Chain A
Amino acid sequence: MEPIIKLQDVDFYYGHFKALDRVTLSMGPGTYGLLGPNGAGKTTLLKILLGFLTPQRGSGFLLGYDLSHDPVAMKSKIGYVPEIGSIIPGMDGVSHTAYLGQLGGMPRQEAMKRAHEVLYYVGLDEARYRNVETYSSGMKQRLKLAAALVHDPKLLFLDEPTSGMDPKARKEMLNLINDISEHRKMNILISSHILADIEMTCGEIVIINKGRIVRREKVNAGQNPHNVYELKIQGNLSLLKKALPEVRFSHGQRNKVMATLPRDFDLHKIFQAAEATHTQIRHLVPKKTTLNDVFVSAVEEGNHGH
Chain B
Amino acid sequence: MGIRQKGYHRWEGELTDSPLRWLPIFFNGIRSVFKKRRAKLLFAFCSILFLVFLGAIYISTKEELKMLSDLVRVIQSDAAIFYHFYINPFMVFSLILLAIFSGSDLISRDIQFQSITLYLSKPISRWDYLVGKYSIVLFYLLLYTLLPGTLLILAKIIFTGKITISLYLLLAAVIFPIVYCLFFAATILLCSSLSQNNRFVILLFILFFFATQPLAEILREIFKSHYFKYIGITNNLQQFGALVFHQEPAFKAPLWPSAVIVICLTLLFTYLIHLRLKRIEV
Instruction: Report A's interface with B, CB cutoff 8 A.
Output: 47, 50, 52, 72-76, 78-80, 82, 84-90, 99-100, 102-108, 110, 114, 116-118, 120-126, 144, 147-148, 150-152, 172, 175-176, 179, 184
Contacts and interface: CB of A to CB of B under 8 A. Distances in A.
Given A86-B118, A121-B4, A104 B282 contact: no
B8 A120 contact: yes
A90 B21 CA distance: 21
A105 B17 contact: yes
23 contacts: A50-B121, A75-B124, A79-B121, A80-B118, A80-B121, A82-B117, A84-B114, A85-B114, A88-B110, A88-B115, A89-B109, A103-B21, A104-B122, A104-B123, A105-B18, A106-B11, A107-B16, A118-B8, A124-B1, A148-B121, A151-B15, A172-B2, A176-B3
A110 B13 contact: yes
Contact of B122 (A75, A144, A152): A75
B38 interface: no
A167 B2 CA distance: 14
Given A103-B24, A104-B15, A105-B15, A85 B113 contact: yes
B32 interface: yes
Contacts of B120: 52
B9 A117 contact: yes
Nearest to B115: A88
Given A80-B121, A123-B3, 18 more contacts: A72-B123, A75-B121, A80-B117, A86-B113, A103-B25, A103-B124, A104-B15, A104-B122, A105-B17, A105-B18, A105-B21, A116-B7, A117-B8, A123-B1, A123-B4, A125-B4, A151-B15, A172-B3
Contacts of A87: 113, 115, 118
Contacts of B109: 89-90
Interface of B: 1-4, 6-11, 13, 15-18, 21, 24-25, 28, 32, 109-110, 112-115, 117-125, 282
B17 A76 contact: yes
B115 A86 contact: yes
Contacts of A106: 11, 13, 15-16
A147 B2 CA distance: 18
B4 A89 contact: no
B76 to A, nearest CB: 47
B45 to A, nearest CB: 23
Given A76-B15, A88-B110, A47 B4 contact: no
B121 A82 contact: yes
Contacts of A105: 15-18, 21, 123
Contacts of B32: 90
Minimum-distance CB pairs A-B, first 9? A123-B1, A85-B114, A105-B15, A80-B121, A152-B11, A102-B24, A103-B122, A75-B123, A121-B8
Contacts of B7: 116-117, 120-121
Contact of A114 (B11, B25, B121, B123): B11
B13 A107 contact: yes
A152 B16 CA distance: 14
A126 B123 CA distance: 30
Contacts of B1: 123-124, 126, 172
B163 to A, nearest CB: 41
B103 to A, nearest CB: 14
Contacts of A122: 3
Contacts of B10: 152, 184
B15 A121 contact: no
Nearest to A176: B3
Contacts of A120: 4, 6-8
A186 to B, nearest CB: 9
A76 B123 contact: yes
Contacts of B123: 72-76, 103-105
A47 B278 CA distance: 13
A80 B116 CA distance: 13
Nearest to B8: A121
B15 A82 contact: no
Contacts of B2: 123, 172, 175
Contacts of B118: 80, 82, 86-88, 100, 144, 147
Most chain A beta carbons < 10 A, residue from B1, B16, B114, B282: B1
B166 to A, nearest CB: 42
Nearest to A114: B11
Contacts of B9: 117
A141 to B, nearest CB: 12
Contact of A73 (B11, B17, B121): B17
A121 B32 CA distance: 27
A122 B112 CA distance: 26
